[in-house]
Amino acid sequence: MKKIILVRYGEIILKGLNRPVFEEKLMGNIKSAIYKFGKAKVLKSQGRIYIEPEDENYEFDLVMQRVTKVFGVVSVSPVWKIETDYEQIKTYALKMATELVNQYGYKTFKVETKRGNKKFPMQSPEVCNDIGGHIFENINGLTVDVHNPDFILFIEIRENSYIYSETIKGHGGMPLGSNGKAMLLLSGGIDSPVAGWMMGKRGVELEAIHFYSYPYTSERAKQKVIDLAKILAGYCGKIHLHIVPFTEIQLAINDKCPEDQLTIIMRRIMMRIAEQIARNSNAMALVTGESMGQVASQTMHGLYCTDSAVNMPVFRPLIGMDKVEVIDIARKIDTFETSILPYEDCCTVFVAKHPQTKPKLDKILLSESKVDFEPLIKTAIETTEVIVVRP
Ligand code: ATP
Ligand code: MG
């Protein structure tokens, strides 16, 4: 018997002729997510992936946790792989049931069998009955409940046979890197990490950019963004984080532009810088955490003005979501606790008392023409620091 990990994937099965490409990508992503935990073979067979440790002290639990975060993975199970030999199946089924009962104190169970190997002489119901009876007779106090059992013992009979009970859900989606690369505008808030995660889930590789206004915002605020990028990297693999010094630009906007337009102009300049850095990194789109109507700059008029600053697609995966829905995801992906740490962001330092909710593009352009942004933008990009953030 060998303890292995079974990985199930869903959506990419539907991708017709491209399926092998998606599968290869997923296998590659799983391999790079787990290589540091020890030696293991990653194999594909009949629409599943199997991770077979080759190392005595394999970090099983850590690998399972890590694999459930790989996009494209629907679920994983710790599995016992045995030869397709009925006596062995029976022996190990009882052994696993015994371990589960000892560990969790289960009182009821049922057996489910799938027979992928049609040459196997027994039918599935017969296997269920016989092995169910064998377990019932040998474990005191354990009874069968076919409707609502404490645990189900799954037996799959294929070329080899597999026994398992536990299944841990993944996030599904598409394998990362199957859908190009985008530049995420990452603030220290709740929304943008969630927006990045949602794009990653659709197979989009991410780089991130953060604007920071030292000394108006602190080192701790910057560290918070690095920490958020690190949590995202747990799903997406390493992330290049571009930290753009933004103080000069904010001071210039503050100095020369009408107060009620500060936020919109600031956001437009952020987008322009992000677009250039995106092009330099071969990213084809920008991603933000904006949601319709959430704050003054996120009205239809505001977003229209922001979008007009750039010539590449801007994705806003949270556009139709309420804050509560965003927070639910932030909790699920583990960014929430970091996001709510109090350190200030440049948007909260330079903020208008009454920002325009219906900015007009021609007026904004006129105000922008009062500042020579080009050299400021050039300097900001030249002095951008790039940090490689790893999970
Ligand atoms: P978040 O929770 O992501 O901070 P928010 O609701 O606070 O979003 P804004 O502050 O208006 O909204 O920012 C809107 C979006 O602009 C953010 O989701 C993020 O994508 C981007 N953004 C804002 N500030 C920064 C920053 N300092 N660096 C990088 N991107 C930023
Ligand atoms: Mg914010």
CATH number of the domain where residue 26 is located: 3.30.2130.30
Which pLDDT belongs to residue 13? Answer: 61
Q: What is the rounded average pLDDT of the residues 315-339?
A: 97
Q: Which of 348, 357, 244, 338 is nearest to 294 (CA)?
A: 357
Top pLDDT among 57 and 52 is at 52
Q: Is residue 176 assigned to a domain?
A: no
Q: Is the pTM of this model over 0.85?
A: yes
Residue 36 sits in the same domain as residue 153: yes
Residue 313 sits in the same domain as residue 379: yes
Closest Cα to atom 24 of ligand 1 = 187
Which pLDDT belongs to residue 322? Answer: 95
Q: Has residue 206 got a pLDDT over 80?
A: yes
Q: Is residue 175 assigned to a domain?
A: no
Residue 126 sits in the same domain as residue 31: yes
Atom in ligand 1 nearest the alpha carbon of residue 244: 28
Residue 207 sits in the same domain as residue 119: no
Q: Is residue 206 assigned to a domain?
A: yes
Residue 158 sits in the same domain as residue 301: no
Count other C-beta atoms under 10 Å from residue 139's C-beta: 17
Q: Has residue 207 got a pLDDT over 90?
A: yes
Which pLDDT belongs to residue 71? Answer: 96
User: How does pLDDT run across 229-274, given as a tens digit for each residue?
Assistant: 999 999 999 999 999 999 999 999 999 999 899 999 999 999 999 9
Q: What is the rounded average pLDDT of the residues 286-314?
A: 92
Which pLDDT belongs to residue 353? Answer: 75
Query: What rounded mean pLDDT belongs to the chain?
Result: 93
Is the preceding peptide bond at 121 cis, omega within 30 degrees of 0? no
Q: Is residue 333 assigned to a domain?
A: yes
Q: Is residue 369 assigned to a domain?
A: yes
Listed residues 169, 203, 226: the one ending a domain = 169
Q: Which two tokens stand for residue 296?
A: 């003054």
Check: CB of residue 330 under 8 Å from CB of residue 193: yes
* Predicted confidence band of residue 314 (pLDDT cuts 50, 70, 90): very high
Residue 209 sits in the same domain as residue 101: no
Q: What is the rounded average pLDDT of the residues 37-58?
A: 91
* Predicted confidence band of residue 348 (pLDDT cuts 50, 70, 90): low
Residue 303 sits in the same domain as residue 334: yes
Residue 275 sits in the same domain as residue 302: yes
Closest Cα to atom 14 of ligand 1 = 290
Listed residues 169, 203, 231: the one ending a domain = 169
Residue 305 sits in the same domain as residue 340: yes
- Residue 118 to residues 88, 92, 122, 154, 343, Cα–Cα distance (Å): 18, 21, 9, 17, 62
Closest Cα to atom 12 of ligand 1 = 290
* Predicted confidence band of residue 86 (pLDDT cuts 50, 70, 90): very high
132 annotated as ligand-binding: no
Residue 162 sits in the same domain as residue 196: no
Least confident of 45-49, 139-143, 272-276: 45-49
Check: CB of residue 234 under 8 Å from CB of residue 376: no
Count other C-beta atoms under 10 Å from residue 277's C-beta: 21
User: How does pLDDT run across 359-384, given as a tens digit for each residue?
Assistant: 899 999 999 999 999 999 999 999 99
What residues pack around ion ligand 2 (CB closer than 5 A)?
A: 187, 189
Sequence-distant contacts of 355-359: CB under 8 A, at least 24 apart? 355/260, 355/261, 355/262, 355/263, 355/264, 355/296, 355/297, 356/260, 356/261, 356/264, 356/296, 356/301, 356/302, 357/296, 357/299, 357/301, 357/302, 358/299, 358/301, 359/261, 359/264, 359/301, 359/302, 359/305
Which pLDDT belongs to residue 14? Answer: 64
Which pLDDT belongs to residue 211? Answer: 96
Atom in ligand 1 nearest the alpha carbon of residue 184: 20
Q: Is residue 119 assigned to a domain?
A: yes
* Predicted confidence band of residue 56 (pLDDT cuts 50, 70, 90): confident
Residue 235 sits in the same domain as residue 147: no
Which pLDDT belongs to residue 216? Answer: 82
User: How does pLDDT run across 114-133, given as a tens digit for each residue?
Assistant: 998 888 999 999 999 999 99
- For a substitution probing ligand 1, which of 183, 184, 185, 187 has the most ligand atoms within 8 Å of its CB? 187
Q: Is residue 381 assigned to a domain?
A: yes
Ligand 1, pocket residues at CB < 6 Å: 185-187, 189-192, 209-211, 288-290, 294-295, 297, 345-347
Quote the crossing angle between the two packed helices 247-256 and 262-280, to the nearest 10°. 150
Which pLDDT belongs to residue 345? Answer: 66
Which CATH number fits the domain that encloses residue 202? 3.40.50.620
- For a substitution probing ligand 1, which of 305, 347, 351, 387 has the most ligand atoms within 8 Å of its CB? 347
267 annotated as ligand-binding: yes
Residue 290 sits in the same domain as residue 243: yes
Q: Is residue 174 assigned to a domain?
A: no
Listed residues 140, 169, 198: the one ending a domain = 169
Q: What is the rounded average pLDDT of the residues 24-51?
A: 93
Atom in ligand 1 nearest the alpha carbon of residue 246: 27
298 annotated as ligand-binding: yes
Q: Has residue 188 got a pLDDT over 80?
A: yes
Residue-range definition of the domain harbouring residue 296: 181-389
Domain count, the chain: 2
